[in-house]
Amino acid sequence: MPAWAIAVVSIGGVLLLLIFIVLIRTMLFRPKKRAKDEEKPASIDKEKAVTSLQALIRCKTISTSDHKDEDKNEFVKLKETLRTTYPLVFKNCEYQELGPKELLFHLKGKNGDEKHPAIFMAHFDVVSVEPDRWTEDPFAGVRKNGVLYGRGTIDTKGTLNGTLRGCEELLLHGERPEHDFYFAFAGDEEVAGGSAKLAVKYFKDHSIDPYLVIDEGGAVVNGIFPGVKKNTALIGTAEKGACAMEFHLDGEGGHASAPAPHTPVGRLGKLAVDIEDHPFHFILSEPVREMFDILGRESTFTYRMIFANLWLFKPILNKLTKKSGGQLNALVRTTVALTQMEGSKATNIIPTKAMIGLNMRLMPPDSVEYASARLKKLSDKNGIASTPIFSYAWNPSRISTTKSEGYSKIKNAIEGTWGDDTLVSPYMMTACADARFYGEISDKVYRFSAMKLRPEQMEMIHGDNEQLNDEQIAETVEFYYRLMRSL
Ligand SMILES: [Zn+2]
């Protein structure tokens, strides 16, 4: 056989082998058998679940970056409402305020182990509203046709109510958990006020190593993963970092009739395009790798083939996500969104000052230092030597383990509440929550908003007509009751 024929035959052989391996791996990439836990029924008072949340909605606890603009009375009213709405919690828990915006409850468990409690987090402040865009008063607690309207129903007085109502149910049923519980609620999460840090300091000072920490995060949703039709509960085991940067440029200014070849606006525009043309590298972080492994198995053949063979298809996935942007892309790299641009006020004036502003979300292990240095390099290349200005910046959170008892118990409570066919998967949260501060004391921090949400409800978070129906509100309480009972 001539040499070229041997080459063709061996290349063909390698290709066939490759296809064979890819197909075998795809075939074997099927959902893992799940050990089923026998779940006891959990009956809760559904009407009380709704009326308690309704009472919280009626407190107009809007956070503003300038605290002077806040209505302090509404925050006082909320604290009083907690006392009257959840009497058994107050009767059985030690209660203290670590700061004006950080409430801490402590329930003693049966095992006497004070160092490994379960910590339940939520925030009781909300973002502002544009009342004209709402069909109902956002703070009146309007209940209509089985739906409760109100700012904060989803984000996140719903889980605040879930925690406290769940605990009321536990105590009503005369059940005491094995573990100690702490409820740590902040009143300035929406403006990144950092009161949650007071609780972290308290736990650190008391050498507490939590059994688990649960805070807002992913929900039970549908249609979030290509080719998967089952309901999926997403538990954020980490969150991306965030960084806001501005580049400013001073120029000569002048009249638009006799411009230089490049004005400050043109030069910053060129930098903006350059930044967009240089996306960050592909990173398969642990939460996303686990997510692809769990949900990929449930998907259609093509996606199963891709996710079962990432060793081969990673470059293709990298290219596809770079091109598509959006949610999937945000799960595999640090993203940059150009958000601001300022020049002169009139079209016939060349500005003496111009700026662009951007928002970065950092995928671990990319740090603020690394990511901003990368952009600085691009700005230097474009001859824009100004030092970037940071409005805020923090690194990605620590990554939590899914191999803890706490994670399994959350998973069981999810399956007990929303049914065994609900998929449970870790994920990388692209938004921010107070939970990130807890990385300092624990690798068992889970971000899960225990609600089954319809796609349009996702838009209502920080948007208009935020609402939950009676069934959703009751399910949240049931989830917490189930989880607490198992701890
Ligand atoms: Zn929130």
Q: Could you tell me the CATH number of the domain that includes residue 326?
A: 3.30.70.360
Question: Residue 11: which pLDDT band, with cuts at 50, 70 and 90?
Answer: confident
* Whether pLDDT at 202 is above 90: yes
Quote the ligand 1 centre to 15 CA distance (angstroms): 50
Quote the ligand 1 centre to 154 CA distance (angstroms): 8
Report the pLDDT averaged over residues 253-261.
85
With beta carbons less than 8 A apart as the criterion, state whether 356 and 343 touch.
no
pLDDT score recorded for residue 366: 96
| 84/232 same-domain check | yes
Is 21 part of a structural domain of the chain?
A: no
Quote the ligand 1 centre to 151 CA distance (angstroms): 11
Quote the ligand 1 centre to 156 CA distance (angstroms): 5
Handedness of CA 219, 221, 223, 225 (dihedral sign): positive
Is 70 part of a structural domain of the chain?
A: yes
Quote the ligand 1 centre to 157 CA distance (angstroms): 9
Token couple for 434: 């107070």
Is 37 part of a structural domain of the chain?
A: no
Summarised one tens digit per residue, pLDDT across range 318-363 is 999 999 999 899 999 999 999 999 999 999 999 999 999 999 999 9
pLDDT score recorded for residue 37: 65
With beta carbons less than 8 A apart as the criterion, state whether 422 and 229 touch.
no
- Residue 466: which domain range? 46-237+398-485
The rounded percent of the chain whose pLDDT value lies above 90 is 81
Question: Residue 213: which pLDDT band, with cuts at 50, 70 and 90?
Answer: very high
| 369/427 same-domain check | no
Q: Given 394, 422, 443, which residue is the final one in a domain?
A: 394
Q: Given 342, 364, 394, which residue is the final one in a domain?
A: 394
Calculate the average pLDDT of the chain: 93
| 175/153 same-domain check | yes
361 membership: H or E segment, kind and range: strand 353-362
| 311/407 same-domain check | no
| 161/217 same-domain check | yes
Number of structural domains (the chain) is 2
| 193/276 same-domain check | no
| 296/338 same-domain check | yes
Quote the ligand 1 centre to 410 CA distance (angstroms): 19
| 105/223 same-domain check | yes
Quote the ligand 1 centre to 24 CA distance (angstroms): 44
Quote the ligand 1 centre to 250 CA distance (angstroms): 39
Question: Beta partners for 106?
Answer: 94, 182
* Whether pLDDT at 36 is above 70: no
CA distance 339 to 376: 17
Quote the ligand 1 centre to 161 CA distance (angstroms): 13
pLDDT score recorded for residue 166: 97
Summarised one tens digit per residue, pLDDT across range 152-198 is 999 999 999 999 999 999 999 999 999 999 999 999 999 988 899 99
| 270/315 same-domain check | yes
Quote the ligand 1 centre to 461 CA distance (angstroms): 8
* Whether pLDDT at 408 is above 70: yes
pLDDT score recorded for residue 123: 97
Quote the ligand 1 centre to 155 CA distance (angstroms): 5
Quote the ligand 1 centre to 196 CA distance (angstroms): 13
Quote the ligand 1 centre to 322 CA distance (angstroms): 29
Is 8 part of a structural domain of the chain?
A: no
Closest C-alpha among 481, 331, 340 to residue 416: 481
Quote the ligand 1 centre to 159 CA distance (angstroms): 10
Is 212 part of a structural domain of the chain?
A: yes
Angle in degrees, CA 398, 400, 403, rounded to 5: 155
Quote the ligand 1 centre to 192 CA distance (angstroms): 10
Quote the ligand 1 centre to 257 CA distance (angstroms): 50
Quote the ligand 1 centre to 127 CA distance (angstroms): 9
| 386/411 same-domain check | no
* Whether pLDDT at 68 is above 90: no
Quote the ligand 1 centre to 306 CA distance (angstroms): 34
Quote the ligand 1 centre to 433 CA distance (angstroms): 7
304: which residues sit within 8 A by CB, 6+ positions away?
Answer: 26, 29, 227, 296, 297
Work out the angle between the directed axes of helices 46-57 and 470-485 (0-180°, nearest 10).
110
| 218/86 same-domain check | yes
Question: Residue 38: which pLDDT band, with cuts at 50, 70 and 90?
Answer: low
Report the pLDDT averaged over residues 225-232.
92
248: which residues sit within 8 A by CB, 6+ positions away?
Answer: 353, 354, 355, 386, 389
| 197/262 same-domain check | no
